[in-house]
Each structure stands twice: as C-alpha cells, then as structure tokens.
C-alpha cells in the first residue's frame, strides 16, 4: 500500500496546455472511456448544428473512416481563423488552443448564436487536445484556411490560400487518441442514433452519415421534426391522437440574475405500445432530464389527478396517480431552447434552470387543461387506462413485498443450517453478494476484508463433486453442493424425478444479487472454479443465463516500487500486465512477489483487489450460446477425452508458469 509522502509548497503543480485535457479527459468529457470519446465527437458536431440552426447551410456530413478517424463537414459561414485585433491573437489559437474561448458568450443578449448547443468554449479545443491528429479546413472570405495538429500541438501554423470558388463552410477531421481514451473506436450505431436524433430535433436540416468501414451511407431528415418522429412511435394501438403545441417565455433563475429567452415545442399522445419519453435542450439529448423532466412529472400528475378527482374515478381512500402510472402509456417529446442554459456539467445530459422548469410546467398544465376539455372522449379513455396501470402496479408491489417477507424469513434461517457460512447484515436481496471461496483459510481473509453490510462468505471443503459426471443421487448426497443449494434459496432445475425436499427452480426466490466465485489464481484454483461453474451449469443454468454468476480475479503478482524511501504497491493479473507495469515505472527499487493464496493475503490487499466494488476485477459469466457452453464443459470435465487431450496440447503451455516445481 502507498505510504504518505512529503506534502509542502513544492507539492502543488498546475497542468498546462494540452495536458489540461490529455491527463484529465474526464473533467471535460465526463469519462475517459468510449462514452467520453463519443462526447468529444458530439462537441464538434454541435458547432456545425449551431451554424445550420442559424440558417447557414442545410446539410451536415459525418464520415467514419477505416482507421476510425472522423470528419464533420458543414456548409456554414466557416470558423473565423484569422487575426483578431480585439484579442491580439489569431482566432485559430483561441478556438483550438484555448479553453473557454469562442463566439457564444453573449447569448443572453442574443449574440452570434441565439440558441446554441455549445456554451462554454471548450469543445473544439478539448477535442483537438484529445486527438492523435486534428485537421481543419475552412472556406470563407475568399480564402481557404488549413490547420494541422498532432497530440495537441500545432504543426506548421495557419495555411491561407486565395479561393474564388463557391464552397463555404468548415470541415474537421480527427482521430481520437488512445493515450487519452481507453477506447476510441466509435461504433456505427452510436453515430446513427445521434444523427437521427439531431434530424428529429432540427426540422429541415439534413444529416448524412458515410461509413467507409461498412461501405454504406445513411441520410436523416425530418421535415416536421418531433411531430414526424412521434407519428413513427405511435403505431396502431393509440389511445389518443397526437397533441402538439409550442410557446415562448422570458424570465430569470433568480431575481439578481439576467433575463433569458426560452422557447419550447411539445408533442404527446397515449398508447398501449412501448412508452417513449425524450427531453432535448438546445438540440442536446438530456439523458438525465433535469428541469424538463421535473416539469413533466409535476404537470402531468397534477392535471390527471385533478381530472380523476373531478370525475370521482378514485376508489375509497385510494392513493393518487403517480407519474409512473402515466408514463407507462405515454409518448412525450419536449424540445426546448434558451439563450442561457445551466447544464449540470460539460456533457450536457441534464439542465437545472429554475425558470425553464417553471416555464415548462405552466406551458404543459395550461395545454393539458385545454386537452381535457377539447378531447373529452379520448381523455377519459386515457384516464381509465392510467388508473388500470396504477392498480396493476400497486398489486404487483404488494406481491413483491409479500415475497420479500418470505425471503427475509428464509435468510434469517440460513445461518443456522449451513456450517461456516458467514452472513451479511442487509436483507435486501438486490444488494446481497455471496462469495464462494476455497477452504477455511481463505474464509478468514475474506471475512476480515469484506464489507459485512452486503457481502457474505461460504467456504468450500476441498474440491467439489464433478456434477457433469455424477448422478443425481450422488449430487444429493454431497453436503458441499447441498449446502450451496440451500444458500441460493432458489431450488434446482433438473429433468425427471426430483428429490422431494429440494424445491423446483424459481428465480424469484434467489436470495442474492451476485454469486461470486473467488479462488486462487493458480491451476488448482482454476479447476475448483470450473467445477463450481459446472455445478451451476447442470443444476441452475438459469442463474448463468440471467447473469447472476460472477468470477472475481485475484492478482498473480504484487509489485513494490520504492523511490526515495516511499513504497507504492501495484497488482498485476498476468505476466503481460506485470511487464507493462514494471516497464512504466520510473527509476527506483522494484520488488516483484508472486501473490500468495487467498488465505495468506492481508485484509487490506484482499479488500482492494478482491472485495471493493470500485477496484475489484469482476467478470460476469455468460454463455455465448447453449451449444458452445455444453461443448466447453464436456471438453474440460466430461467424457470427451480426445477433445481434452487436444485442449491440453494446444493450451497446456499457458499454465506451466503457474505450477509449483520447487
């Protein structure tokens, strides 16, 4: 474990230039994984959409190249890149090399862009900094401007050549950098989804997607915007016709803040098909909603509750309608725009403007009141369906609570029926984790390292029975296996005759959210792991199919690096990872120790590497398909000796390093 180092005036440092993004991409893009990489693409796309929304160009073209680089090209005015007298710098430096610089800071008074996706002046610069290379091509003012960047550094300055043709706009091509993001290959379905969403929200703007990897291209265009989209969603089982309305307002989030303009359009209908609720603000999809979602919940519940009371639809002392009851039959799309937006962060997945929430709530309530008056027949039909949804939900909730009480009773009895089982405190089945470990020595370490609130432990006494070869009579007589079955609580799934006291499999009675196999990282541990999986495969295959079985990987090596008397520990889970860690360490004393068995590890190490949900390596067990699962188990544990011999011949060398030959 790391030891405390020196902390003094020289300990404080500041990231500069491209490192502000390259070393901390999560601050700008929300994460350093694929989601963050995808958001960097959306930042560039947003700028082109802002141009098109202002009336400059009607086509935006996105290209995914074979090396997974991307290009966004528009027909707008072209980003100004030349010398800026006010700032005494070139605009290309401000746009692509300076965070918090751009043309969207005076939107409250209606500046360059009245309603824009980009507000913070971060996107173009941050994406450029996070790219392996980034190329810019701009046609404007009778010139062709070109820029080239590599890993955040400009190469060659601004290239400016006269141009007399008709072409206008900006084209930006870049390749996300693997040194910044853990994954950089943005999938086709993400690009399709984003461009389709933007075509829906930006009526009249065309989006073209060219994919060189598949050799296909796609076009997205909605002349009627969200109305056309809602018509696609509604289908044949509609309970009501589409209702569409829009409105504008001006207000403040607080009395001492500036006024800003808001406009919105709303479309809703009710259907017995799959519900769809989508919120957009300034063309950005609000995955987490925020102000629009709170407005919709408040308005729909208030008006439907008032209608139910006015028509005496509630039964005696019945609780009022919830938004869940309404949303189960609701198709709702809200698209809002404002000259000032308070996003929860740069990823723009939610807004929290108080005035936008108040404006939308009033807009929705006013039009819902009119809808109830002008469409009485269908409004009553919808209200009856919502009450059906409500009562069905409440009945299901009662059944769930009754089942939970029965399961809680089962949980309370388990500790006294299974030797050496160490229970956890919580009775919430949705949180409980069961660790299956090797022997009592591992039990001691895991017991001390675990979070006793939700992690329980059961040790195995030696190697368990090979359930693939054993008969059911042999299985039923095996105490180790039967103890595990008792702990699961869900019974078993077997064909034909069953043992009377063993319940038939019922997933609803499972007492655990996760069942985690925890064995040593050696050949014996792998064999025990395989035998446990074979038991689940034969007796409770549904647990594998439902993703309830997990394997936690324990480290093979502990690497201690000492620099200036300070030790820092690293853990490697393979020889390749060990070599990568060692090669990446600066000069200093390095000690490599092969990890001991689980029973010999310190609790702190066990918690960090094996038990902590934030740092452990947990793998969910899923069969690719039934045939491949059957073939795998038959090869490893079944009667197919020829296949097992061939597997050993092909893969045996991979395990030789794990054998204890001393």
Q: How does pLDDT run across 332-384, given as a tens digit for each residue? A: 999 999 988 776 655 567 888 999 999 999 999 999 999 999 999 999 999 99
Long-range contacts of 373-379 (CB under 8 A, 24+ apart): 375/240, 375/241, 375/243, 378/239, 378/240, 378/241, 378/270, 379/240, 379/307
Confidence grade of residue 574 (pLDDT, cut at 50, 70, 90): confident
Of the candidates 24, 154, 18, which has an alpha carbon nearest to the alpha carbon of residue 99?
A: 18
DSSP type of residue 271: B
Confidence grade of residue 603 (pLDDT, cut at 50, 70, 90): confident
Q: Is the pLDDT assigned to residue 461 strictly greater than 80?
A: no
What's the confidence (pLDDT) of residue 594?
82
Top mean-pLDDT range of 19-23, 103-107, 213-217, 428-432 = 213-217
CA distances (Å), origin 332, targets 270, 279, 328, 342: 9, 8, 11, 23
What's the confidence (pLDDT) of residue 379?
95
Give the angle 170-171-177 at the CA atoms, nearest 5°: 130
Q: Quick one: tokens of 448?
A: 């001390």
Percent pLDDT > 70 in the chain is: 82
Q: How does pLDDT run across 504-536, given as a tens digit for each residue? A: 888 888 999 999 998 887 778 888 888 898 889
* Confidence (pTM): 0.58
What's the confidence (pLDDT) of residue 658?
46
Q: Is the pLDDT assigned to residue 466 strictly greater than 50?
A: yes
Q: Is the pLDDT assigned to residue 403 strictly greater than 90?
A: no
Please, are residues 577 and 592 in contact by the beta-carbon 8 Å criterion? no
- Could you give the CA distance from residue 558 to residue 314 in angstroms, rounded to a whole number? 65
Q: Which residues make beta-bridge pairs with 265?
A: 246, 335
Confidence grade of residue 662 (pLDDT, cut at 50, 70, 90): very low
Name which of 160-169, 417-426, 581-590, 643-652 the model is least confident about: 643-652
What's the confidence (pLDDT) of residue 496?
54
- Could you give the CA distance from residue 67 to residue 156 in angstroms, rounded to a whole number? 24
CA distances (Å), origin 20, targets 13, 25, 92: 12, 8, 18
Confidence grade of residue 147 (pLDDT, cut at 50, 70, 90): very high
- Could you give the CA distance from residue 401 to residue 406 in angstroms, rounded to a whole number? 9
Q: Is the pLDDT assigned to residue 453 strictly greater than 50?
A: yes
Q: How does pLDDT run across 88-105, given as a tens digit for each residue? A: 999 999 999 887 655 444
Strands of 284-285's sheet in order across: 243-251, 260-270, 330-338, 276-281, 284-285
For range 607-618, the mean pLDDT? 89
Q: How does pLDDT run across 190-235, given as a tens digit for each residue? A: 999 999 999 999 999 999 999 999 999 999 999 999 999 998 888 7
Q: Is the pLDDT assigned to residue 598 strictly greater than 80?
A: no
- Could you give the CA distance from residue 375 to residue 161 in angstroms, rounded to a whole number? 63
Q: Is the pLDDT assigned to residue 644 strictly greater than 80?
A: no
What is the four-CA torsion angle of 136, 139, 144, 148, rounded to 10 degrees?
0
What's the confidence (pLDDT) of residue 382?
95
What's the confidence (pLDDT) of residue 635?
60
Residue 188 makes CB contacts below 8 A (sequence gap 6+) with 64, 211, 213, 214
For range 533-549, the mean pLDDT? 89
For range 284-288, the mean pLDDT? 85
- In the block, tokens 């958001």 appear at 39
What's the confidence (pLDDT) of residue 261?
92
Q: What is the mean pLDDT of the chain?
A: 84
- Could you give the CA distance from residue 579 to residue 572 in angstroms, rounded to a whole number? 9
For range 561-565, the mean pLDDT? 82
């Amino acid at each position: 474990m790391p030891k405390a180092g020196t902390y003094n005036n020289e300990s404080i440092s500041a990231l500069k230039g491209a490192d502000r993004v390259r070393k901390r991409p999560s601050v700008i893009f929300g994460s350093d994984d694929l989601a963050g990489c995808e958001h960097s693409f959306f930042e560039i796309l947003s700028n082109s959409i802002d141009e098109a929304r202002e009336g400059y160009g009607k086509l935006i073209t996105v290209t995914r190249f074979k090396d997974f680089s991307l290009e966004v090209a528009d027909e707008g005015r072209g980003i100004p890149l030349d010398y800026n007298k006010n700032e005494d710098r070139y605009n290309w430096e401000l746009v692509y090399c300076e965070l918090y610089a751009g043309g969207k800071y005076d939107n409250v008074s209606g500046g360059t862009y009245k309603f824009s996706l980009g507000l913070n002046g971060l996107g173009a610069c941050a994406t450029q900094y996070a790219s392996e290379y980034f190329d810019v091509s701009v046609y404007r003012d009778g010139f062709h401007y070109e820029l080239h960047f590599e890993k955040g550094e400009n190469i060659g300055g601004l290239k400016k050549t006269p141009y007399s043709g008709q072409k206008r706009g900006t084209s930006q091509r870049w390749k996300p950098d693997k040194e910044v993001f853990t994954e950089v290959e943005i999938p086709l379905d993400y690009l399709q989804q984003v461009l389709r969403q933007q075509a829906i929200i930006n009526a009249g703007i065309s989006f073209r997607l060219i994919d060189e990897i598949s050799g296909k291209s796609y076009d997205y265009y909605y002349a009627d915007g969200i109305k056309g989209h809602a018509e696609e969603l509604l289908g044949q089982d509609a309970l009501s016709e589409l209702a569409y309305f829009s409105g504008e307002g001006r207000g403040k989030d607080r009395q001492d803040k500036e006024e800003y303009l808001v406009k919105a359009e709303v479309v809703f209908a009710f259907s017995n098909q799959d519900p769809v609720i989508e919120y957009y603000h300034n063309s950005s999809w609000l995955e987490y909603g925020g102000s629009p979602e709170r407005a919709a919940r408040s308005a729909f519940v208030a008006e439907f509750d008032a209608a139910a009371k006015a028509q005496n639809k509630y039964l005696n002392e019945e609780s009022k309608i919830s938004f869940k009851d309404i949303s189960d039959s609701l198709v709702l799309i809200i698209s809002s725009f404002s000259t000032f937006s308070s996003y929860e962060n740069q990823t723009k997945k939610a807004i929290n403007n108080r005035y936008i929430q108040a404006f939308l709530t009033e807009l929705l309530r006013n039009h819902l009141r009119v809808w109830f008056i002008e469409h009485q027949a269908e409004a009553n039909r919808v209200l009856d369906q919502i009450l059906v949804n409500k009562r069905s939900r409440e009945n299901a909730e009662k059944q769930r609570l009754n089942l939970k009480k029965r399961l809680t009773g089962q949980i309370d009895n388990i500790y006294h029926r299974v030797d050496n089982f160490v229970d956890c405190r919580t009775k919430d089945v949705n949180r409980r984790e069961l660790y299956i470990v090797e022997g009592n020595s591992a039990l001691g370490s895991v017991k001390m390292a675990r979070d006793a609130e939700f992690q329980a432990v059961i040790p195995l006494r030696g190697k368990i029975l090979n359930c693939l070869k054993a008969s059911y009579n042999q299985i039923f007589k095996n105490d180790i296996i039967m103890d595990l079955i008792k702990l699961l609580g869900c019974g078993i799934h077997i064909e034909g005759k069953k043992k009377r006291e063993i319940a038939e499999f019922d997933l609803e009675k499972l007492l655990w959210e996760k069942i985690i196999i925890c064995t040593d990282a050696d050949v014996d541990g792998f064999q025990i792991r395989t035998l446990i999986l074979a038991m689940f495969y034969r007796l409770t295959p549904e647990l594998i199919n439902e993703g309830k079985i997990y394997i936690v990987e324990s480290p093979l090596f502990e690497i201690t690096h000492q620099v200036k008397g300070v030790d820092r520990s690293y853990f490697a889970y393979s020889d390749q990872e060990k070599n990568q860690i060692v090669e990446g360490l600066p000069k200093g004393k390095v000690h490599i120790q092969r990890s001991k068995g689980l029973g010999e590890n310190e609790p702190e190490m066990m918690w960090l590497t094996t038990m902590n949900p934030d740092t452990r390596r947990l793998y969910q067990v899923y069969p690719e398909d039934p045939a491949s699962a059957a073939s795998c188990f038959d090869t490893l544990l079944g009667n197919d000796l020829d296949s097992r011999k061939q597997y050993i011949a092909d893969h045996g060398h991979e395990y030789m390093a794990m054998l204890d030959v001393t």
